[in-house]
Amino acid sequence: MALILRTFVRQGVLLSRPQCGVLYRHAAPMGTTAKEEMNKFWDKNAKLNRPVSPHLTIYKWSVPMAMSITHRGTGLGLSGAISAFAVAALVLPESYPYYLDLIRSLSVGPYLIGLAKFGIVFPVSYHTYNGIRHLLWDIGKGFKIPEVYRSGYTVIGLSIITTVALLSL
Amino acid sequence: MAAVVRLNFACRRGLKPLFLRSTLLARPLLVSHKCQEHPYQLTTRINALHVDSVSKAASRHWTAERALSVLLLAMGPVAYFNHGPIVDFSLAAALTLHGHWGVGQALTDYVHGDAKVKIAKTGLFLLSTITFSGLCYFNYNDIGICKAIALLWGK
Protein backbone atom coordinates (compact mmCIF):
# COMPACT_ATOMS: atom_id res chain seq x y z
CA MET A 1 0.00 0.00 0.00
CA ALA A 2 2.69 2.42 1.09
CA LEU A 3 4.76 1.31 -1.89
CA ILE A 4 1.95 2.18 -4.29
CA LEU A 5 1.45 5.61 -2.72
CA ARG A 6 5.18 6.33 -2.63
CA THR A 7 5.76 5.48 -6.27
CA PHE A 8 2.71 7.37 -7.53
CA VAL A 9 3.43 10.48 -5.53
CA ARG A 10 6.70 11.12 -7.36
CA GLN A 11 6.91 14.44 -9.15
CA GLY A 12 5.47 14.27 -12.63
CA VAL A 13 4.13 10.73 -12.41
CA LEU A 14 0.55 11.95 -12.46
CA LEU A 15 -2.31 9.50 -12.83
CA SER A 16 -4.00 10.90 -15.86
CA ARG A 17 -5.40 7.45 -16.65
CA PRO A 18 -5.35 5.21 -13.56
CA GLN A 19 -4.38 1.85 -14.97
CA CYS A 20 -5.29 -1.05 -12.74
CA GLY A 21 -2.80 -3.82 -12.53
CA VAL A 22 0.19 -1.76 -13.69
CA LEU A 23 2.54 -1.05 -10.81
CA TYR A 24 5.33 1.47 -11.39
CA ARG A 25 7.50 -0.02 -8.73
CA HIS A 26 10.73 1.67 -9.67
CA ALA A 27 9.53 4.85 -11.43
CA ALA A 28 12.28 7.43 -11.81
CA PRO A 29 11.31 10.99 -10.86
CA MET A 30 10.53 13.07 -13.98
CA GLY A 31 11.98 16.58 -13.88
CA THR A 32 11.06 17.77 -17.38
CA THR A 33 7.96 19.58 -18.53
CA ALA A 34 5.97 18.76 -21.61
CA LYS A 35 7.44 21.83 -23.30
CA GLU A 36 11.00 20.65 -22.61
CA GLU A 37 10.18 17.19 -23.93
CA MET A 38 8.73 18.66 -27.12
CA ASN A 39 11.77 20.89 -27.64
CA LYS A 40 14.09 17.92 -27.14
CA PHE A 41 12.12 15.98 -29.77
CA TRP A 42 12.35 18.76 -32.35
CA ASP A 43 15.99 19.57 -31.62
CA LYS A 44 17.11 15.95 -31.97
CA ASN A 45 15.14 15.17 -35.09
CA ALA A 46 15.95 18.45 -36.84
CA LYS A 47 19.66 17.95 -36.08
CA LEU A 48 19.57 14.45 -37.51
CA ASN A 49 17.83 15.88 -40.57
CA ARG A 50 15.15 13.25 -40.39
CA PRO A 51 12.42 13.51 -43.01
CA VAL A 52 8.87 14.02 -41.77
CA SER A 53 6.40 11.33 -42.80
CA PRO A 54 3.74 12.54 -45.24
CA HIS A 55 0.63 13.51 -43.32
CA LEU A 56 -1.37 16.38 -44.81
CA THR A 57 -0.60 15.22 -48.35
CA ILE A 58 -1.89 11.69 -47.86
CA TYR A 59 -4.54 11.74 -45.12
CA LYS A 60 -8.14 11.77 -46.33
CA TRP A 61 -9.76 15.13 -45.60
CA SER A 62 -12.88 15.12 -43.45
CA VAL A 63 -15.45 17.86 -42.79
CA PRO A 64 -14.37 18.39 -39.14
CA MET A 65 -10.73 18.57 -40.23
CA ALA A 66 -11.47 21.10 -42.98
CA MET A 67 -13.66 23.17 -40.65
CA SER A 68 -10.94 23.26 -38.02
CA ILE A 69 -8.27 24.63 -40.33
CA THR A 70 -10.81 27.06 -41.79
CA HIS A 71 -11.47 28.32 -38.27
CA ARG A 72 -7.76 28.96 -37.89
CA GLY A 73 -7.49 30.41 -41.40
CA THR A 74 -10.35 32.88 -40.87
CA GLY A 75 -8.87 33.81 -37.50
CA LEU A 76 -5.43 34.50 -38.92
CA GLY A 77 -6.91 36.30 -41.92
CA LEU A 78 -9.12 38.53 -39.80
CA SER A 79 -6.22 39.32 -37.46
CA GLY A 80 -4.09 40.26 -40.43
CA ALA A 81 -6.84 42.44 -41.87
CA ILE A 82 -7.34 44.25 -38.55
CA SER A 83 -3.59 44.85 -38.28
CA ALA A 84 -3.46 46.13 -41.85
CA PHE A 85 -6.36 48.47 -41.12
CA ALA A 86 -4.62 49.75 -37.99
CA VAL A 87 -1.37 50.40 -39.85
CA ALA A 88 -3.30 52.16 -42.61
CA ALA A 89 -5.03 54.35 -40.01
CA LEU A 90 -1.62 55.38 -38.66
CA VAL A 91 0.03 55.92 -42.05
CA LEU A 92 -2.60 57.37 -44.39
CA PRO A 93 -3.04 61.16 -44.18
CA GLU A 94 -6.77 61.49 -44.88
CA SER A 95 -9.83 60.32 -42.93
CA TYR A 96 -11.87 57.15 -43.42
CA PRO A 97 -14.95 58.89 -44.91
CA TYR A 98 -12.64 60.59 -47.43
CA TYR A 99 -11.21 57.31 -48.67
CA LEU A 100 -14.63 55.64 -48.67
CA ASP A 101 -16.03 58.39 -50.89
CA LEU A 102 -12.93 58.12 -53.08
CA ILE A 103 -13.54 54.40 -53.62
CA ARG A 104 -17.26 54.96 -54.23
CA SER A 105 -16.39 57.45 -56.98
CA LEU A 106 -14.42 54.80 -58.87
CA SER A 107 -16.17 52.71 -61.52
CA VAL A 108 -15.17 49.50 -59.73
CA GLY A 109 -16.24 51.16 -56.47
CA PRO A 110 -19.41 49.12 -55.76
CA TYR A 111 -17.57 45.87 -56.52
CA LEU A 112 -14.68 46.77 -54.25
CA ILE A 113 -17.06 47.71 -51.47
CA GLY A 114 -19.05 44.52 -52.04
CA LEU A 115 -15.81 42.57 -51.88
CA ALA A 116 -14.88 44.29 -48.62
CA LYS A 117 -18.31 43.53 -47.15
CA PHE A 118 -18.04 39.87 -48.15
CA GLY A 119 -14.46 39.74 -46.90
CA ILE A 120 -15.63 40.91 -43.50
CA VAL A 121 -19.02 39.19 -43.15
CA PHE A 122 -18.19 35.63 -44.22
CA PRO A 123 -15.00 35.13 -42.14
CA VAL A 124 -16.51 36.88 -39.11
CA SER A 125 -19.71 34.80 -39.33
CA TYR A 126 -17.92 31.50 -39.81
CA HIS A 127 -15.33 32.21 -37.11
CA THR A 128 -18.02 33.38 -34.68
CA TYR A 129 -20.38 30.44 -35.19
CA ASN A 130 -17.56 27.91 -35.16
CA GLY A 131 -16.17 29.72 -32.11
CA ILE A 132 -19.45 29.06 -30.29
CA ARG A 133 -19.11 25.41 -31.36
CA HIS A 134 -15.61 25.37 -29.82
CA LEU A 135 -16.89 26.93 -26.59
CA LEU A 136 -19.56 24.21 -26.36
CA TRP A 137 -16.82 21.59 -26.75
CA ASP A 138 -14.91 23.37 -23.98
CA ILE A 139 -17.79 22.80 -21.57
CA GLY A 140 -17.90 19.19 -22.69
CA LYS A 141 -20.87 19.20 -25.03
CA GLY A 142 -21.23 17.69 -28.48
CA PHE A 143 -18.27 15.32 -28.76
CA LYS A 144 -20.10 12.34 -30.27
CA ILE A 145 -19.21 12.01 -33.94
CA PRO A 146 -22.78 12.49 -35.29
CA GLU A 147 -23.04 15.59 -33.07
CA VAL A 148 -19.75 16.92 -34.41
CA TYR A 149 -21.02 16.62 -37.98
CA ARG A 150 -24.44 18.04 -37.13
CA SER A 151 -23.01 21.10 -35.36
CA GLY A 152 -20.50 21.48 -38.18
CA TYR A 153 -23.13 21.58 -40.92
CA THR A 154 -25.16 23.99 -38.76
CA VAL A 155 -22.19 26.36 -38.57
CA ILE A 156 -21.66 26.21 -42.34
CA GLY A 157 -25.36 26.75 -43.01
CA LEU A 158 -25.66 29.66 -40.60
CA SER A 159 -22.55 31.29 -42.04
CA ILE A 160 -23.94 31.17 -45.57
CA ILE A 161 -27.36 32.44 -44.47
CA THR A 162 -25.83 35.30 -42.46
CA THR A 163 -23.55 36.28 -45.33
CA VAL A 164 -26.36 36.29 -47.89
CA ALA A 165 -28.64 38.20 -45.51
CA LEU A 166 -26.11 40.92 -44.62
CA LEU A 167 -24.81 41.32 -48.15
CA SER A 168 -28.30 41.87 -49.53
CA LEU A 169 -29.03 44.69 -47.09
CA MET B 1 -14.05 -12.39 -10.56
CA ALA B 2 -12.70 -14.50 -13.41
CA ALA B 3 -9.64 -15.25 -11.29
CA VAL B 4 -11.82 -16.67 -8.52
CA VAL B 5 -13.62 -18.95 -11.01
CA ARG B 6 -10.31 -20.15 -12.37
CA LEU B 7 -9.12 -20.93 -8.85
CA ASN B 8 -12.15 -23.08 -8.19
CA PHE B 9 -11.65 -24.89 -11.47
CA ALA B 10 -7.99 -25.50 -10.61
CA CYS B 11 -8.89 -26.82 -7.12
CA ARG B 12 -11.42 -29.23 -8.56
CA ARG B 13 -8.86 -30.56 -11.02
CA GLY B 14 -6.29 -30.89 -8.25
CA LEU B 15 -3.19 -30.71 -10.45
CA LYS B 16 0.17 -29.62 -9.01
CA PRO B 17 1.19 -26.96 -11.59
CA LEU B 18 -2.19 -25.38 -11.13
CA PHE B 19 -1.43 -24.79 -7.48
CA LEU B 20 1.39 -22.47 -8.57
CA ARG B 21 -0.85 -20.85 -11.13
CA SER B 22 -3.50 -20.12 -8.54
CA THR B 23 -1.13 -17.91 -6.53
CA LEU B 24 -0.29 -15.97 -9.69
CA LEU B 25 -3.97 -15.56 -10.41
CA ALA B 26 -4.57 -14.38 -6.87
CA ARG B 27 -2.18 -11.46 -7.32
CA PRO B 28 -3.98 -9.68 -10.20
CA LEU B 29 -7.18 -10.00 -8.24
CA LEU B 30 -5.52 -8.29 -5.31
CA VAL B 31 -4.01 -5.53 -7.43
CA SER B 32 -7.19 -4.67 -9.28
CA HIS B 33 -9.10 -4.55 -6.05
CA LYS B 34 -6.59 -2.07 -4.68
CA CYS B 35 -6.82 0.05 -7.83
CA GLN B 36 -10.57 0.16 -7.49
CA GLU B 37 -10.16 1.49 -3.99
CA HIS B 38 -7.52 4.07 -4.54
CA PRO B 39 -7.36 5.89 -7.91
CA TYR B 40 -9.57 8.79 -6.82
CA GLN B 41 -7.76 9.11 -3.51
CA LEU B 42 -4.41 8.91 -5.24
CA THR B 43 -5.26 11.59 -7.81
CA THR B 44 -6.64 13.95 -5.17
CA ARG B 45 -3.52 13.47 -3.10
CA ILE B 46 -1.29 14.07 -6.11
CA ASN B 47 -3.18 17.22 -7.08
CA ALA B 48 -2.93 18.50 -3.55
CA LEU B 49 0.74 17.63 -3.26
CA HIS B 50 2.28 18.99 -6.44
CA VAL B 51 0.78 21.18 -9.17
CA ASP B 52 3.52 22.88 -11.19
CA SER B 53 3.32 26.68 -11.34
CA VAL B 54 3.86 26.60 -15.11
CA SER B 55 0.88 24.34 -15.62
CA LYS B 56 -1.19 26.55 -13.30
CA ALA B 57 -0.34 29.58 -15.41
CA ALA B 58 -1.13 27.70 -18.62
CA SER B 59 -4.45 26.59 -17.18
CA ARG B 60 -5.36 30.15 -16.18
CA HIS B 61 -4.36 31.40 -19.65
CA TRP B 62 -6.69 28.84 -21.24
CA THR B 63 -9.58 29.99 -19.06
CA ALA B 64 -8.82 33.66 -19.78
CA GLU B 65 -8.89 32.93 -23.52
CA ARG B 66 -12.39 31.42 -23.24
CA ALA B 67 -13.63 34.25 -20.98
CA LEU B 68 -12.42 36.83 -23.49
CA SER B 69 -14.11 34.92 -26.32
CA VAL B 70 -17.43 35.02 -24.46
CA LEU B 71 -16.94 38.73 -23.73
CA LEU B 72 -16.26 39.41 -27.41
CA LEU B 73 -19.41 37.49 -28.35
CA ALA B 74 -21.46 39.67 -26.00
CA MET B 75 -19.90 42.82 -27.44
CA GLY B 76 -21.30 42.09 -30.89
CA PRO B 77 -24.95 42.98 -30.24
CA VAL B 78 -23.91 45.83 -27.91
CA ALA B 79 -21.78 47.34 -30.69
CA TYR B 80 -24.63 47.00 -33.15
CA PHE B 81 -27.08 48.96 -31.02
CA ASN B 82 -24.75 51.41 -29.22
CA HIS B 83 -22.16 53.24 -31.27
CA GLY B 84 -19.79 55.33 -29.19
CA PRO B 85 -16.25 55.71 -27.85
CA ILE B 86 -16.63 53.26 -24.94
CA VAL B 87 -17.74 50.46 -27.25
CA ASP B 88 -15.13 51.45 -29.84
CA PHE B 89 -12.22 51.30 -27.41
CA SER B 90 -13.51 48.14 -25.70
CA LEU B 91 -13.84 46.50 -29.10
CA ALA B 92 -10.31 47.61 -30.03
CA ALA B 93 -8.89 46.09 -26.83
CA ALA B 94 -10.89 42.85 -26.99
CA LEU B 95 -10.27 42.25 -30.69
CA THR B 96 -6.54 42.91 -30.42
CA LEU B 97 -6.08 40.67 -27.38
CA HIS B 98 -8.22 37.87 -28.84
CA GLY B 99 -6.20 38.04 -32.05
CA HIS B 100 -2.91 38.21 -30.14
CA TRP B 101 -3.71 35.09 -28.13
CA GLY B 102 -5.11 33.28 -31.17
CA VAL B 103 -2.07 33.91 -33.35
CA GLY B 104 0.06 32.96 -30.33
CA GLN B 105 -1.58 29.52 -30.29
CA ALA B 106 -0.91 29.07 -34.01
CA LEU B 107 2.74 30.06 -33.44
CA THR B 108 3.04 27.51 -30.64
CA ASP B 109 1.73 24.84 -33.00
CA TYR B 110 3.91 25.60 -36.01
CA VAL B 111 7.12 27.23 -34.76
CA HIS B 112 9.67 25.01 -33.05
CA GLY B 113 13.01 25.73 -31.43
CA ASP B 114 13.74 28.20 -28.64
CA ALA B 115 15.30 30.91 -30.84
CA LYS B 116 12.60 30.83 -33.52
CA VAL B 117 9.83 30.87 -30.93
CA LYS B 118 11.35 33.88 -29.21
CA ILE B 119 11.69 35.79 -32.49
CA ALA B 120 8.14 34.95 -33.54
CA LYS B 121 6.62 35.86 -30.18
CA THR B 122 8.51 39.18 -30.13
CA GLY B 123 7.32 39.96 -33.67
CA LEU B 124 3.76 39.14 -32.67
CA PHE B 125 3.98 41.37 -29.61
CA LEU B 126 5.17 44.27 -31.75
CA LEU B 127 2.42 43.67 -34.29
CA SER B 128 -0.27 43.56 -31.61
CA THR B 129 1.05 46.74 -30.02
CA ILE B 130 0.98 48.54 -33.38
CA THR B 131 -2.51 47.15 -34.06
CA PHE B 132 -3.89 48.38 -30.76
CA SER B 133 -2.23 51.78 -31.22
CA GLY B 134 -3.62 52.11 -34.72
CA LEU B 135 -7.14 51.17 -33.64
CA CYS B 136 -7.02 53.62 -30.71
CA TYR B 137 -5.70 56.33 -33.02
CA PHE B 138 -8.58 55.59 -35.41
CA ASN B 139 -11.12 55.71 -32.59
CA TYR B 140 -9.74 59.01 -31.30
CA ASN B 141 -8.93 60.90 -34.52
CA ASP B 142 -11.37 59.37 -36.94
CA ILE B 143 -14.97 58.15 -36.83
CA GLY B 144 -14.40 54.98 -34.74
CA ILE B 145 -14.80 51.24 -35.45
CA CYS B 146 -18.59 50.96 -35.13
CA LYS B 147 -19.31 53.91 -37.44
CA ALA B 148 -16.68 52.73 -39.91
CA ILE B 149 -18.38 49.36 -40.34
CA ALA B 150 -21.82 50.97 -40.50
CA LEU B 151 -20.65 53.30 -43.27
CA LEU B 152 -19.83 50.33 -45.49
CA TRP B 153 -23.54 49.64 -45.59
CA GLY B 154 -24.22 53.35 -46.15
CA LYS B 155 -24.86 54.84 -42.69
Give the best-scoring range by mean pLDDT among B54-58, B108-112, B135-139. B135-139
User: How high is the pLDDT of residue A31?
Assistant: 74
Residue ranges of the domains in chain B? 2-48, 59-154
When CB atoms are compared, the residue of B31, B99, B142 closest to A95 is B142
Residue A36 to residues B56, B60, B122, Cα–Cα distance (Å) = 16, 20, 20
CA distance B155 to chain A (A): 11
pLDDT tens profile A11-42: 444 445 544 445 555 555 667 888 788 888 88
pLDDT of residue B42: 52
Q: Are B32 and B3 in contact (CB under 8 A)?
A: no
Distance CA A138, CA A127 (A): 16
| Nearest CA among A27, A133, A112 for reference residue B46 | A27
ipTM attached to this prediction: 0.78
The size of the A-B interface in CB pairs under 8 A is 119
Q: How confident is the model at residue A80 (pLDDT cuts 50, 70, 90)?
A: very high
Q: CB–CB of B143 and A96 under 8 A?
A: yes
Interface of A with B in 19-48 (CB under 8 A): 19-21, 23, 33, 35, 38-39, 42-43, 46
| pLDDT tens digits, B69-116 | 999 999 999 999 999 999 999 999 999 999 999 999 999 999 988 899
Of A127, A122, A78, give the one whose Cα is nearest residue B96.
A78
Element (H, E) at B139: helix B114-141
Which one of B111, B124, B138, B143 makes the best mutation probe of the A interface by having the most chain A beta carbons within 10 Å? B138
At B3 the pLDDT is: 46
Q: Enumerate domains of chain A plus CATH numbers.
A: 62-167 (1.20.1300.10)
Collect all residues of chain A within an 8 Å Cβ-Cβ radius of residue B94.
none
Nearest chain A residue to B155 by CA: give it.
Answer: A97
The CATH number fitting domain B59-154, selected from 3.50.50.60, 1.10.490.10, 3.30.390.50, 1.20.1300.10: 1.20.1300.10
**Which positions in chain B touch A89 (Cβ < 8 Å)?**
134-135, 137-138, 142
Q: What is the pLDDT of residues B1-53, one digit of tens each?
A: 544 444 445 445 544 544 444 444 444 444 444 445 555 555 555 445 567 88
The predicted structure's pLDDT at residue A118: 95
- How much is the pLDDT for B150? 94
Best mutation target among A83, A87, A103, A128 (most B Cβ atoms within 10 Å) is A83
Tell me the residue length of chain A.
Answer: 169
The whole-number pLDDT of residue A7 equals: 53
**Percent of chain A's residues with pLDDT above 90:** 69
What was the pLDDT predicted at A3?
60
**Which residues does chain B have within 8 Å of residue A95's beta carbon, measured at their own beta carbons?**
142-143
pLDDT at A21: 47
User: Residue ranges of B for the binding site for a ubiquinone?
Assistant: 110
If you write DSSP's letter for every residue of B2-33 in order, what string do you get? HHHHHHHHHHHHT-HHHHHHHHHHHHHHHHHH
Are B125 and A83 spatial neighbours (Cβ–Cβ below 8 Å)? no
**Could you give the 3-state DSSP secondary structure of residue A169?**
coil
**Is the Cβ–Cβ distance between B42 and A8 less than 8 Å?**
yes
Whether residue A89 lies within 8 A of chain B, CB to CB, comes out as yes
Tell me what pLDDT residue B151 has.
93
Give the gap in angstroms from C-alpha A42 to the nearest C-alpha of chain B.
Answer: 7
Most confident by average pLDDT, A150-154, B30-34, B53-57: A150-154
Write down the mean pLDDT value for chain A: 87
Instruction: Provide the pLDDT for residue A29.
Output: 60
Mean pLDDT along residues B118-132: 98
As a whole number, mean pLDDT of residues A99-119 equals 92
Q: Using a CB–CB cutoff of 8 Å, tell me whether A113 touches chain B.
A: yes
Q: Are A78 and A124 in contact (CB under 8 A)?
A: yes
What's this model's pTM, rounded to 2 decimal places? 0.74
- Taking a C-beta distance cutoff of 8 angstroms, is the pair B139, B103 a contact? no
Residue of A nearest to B103 (CA): A76
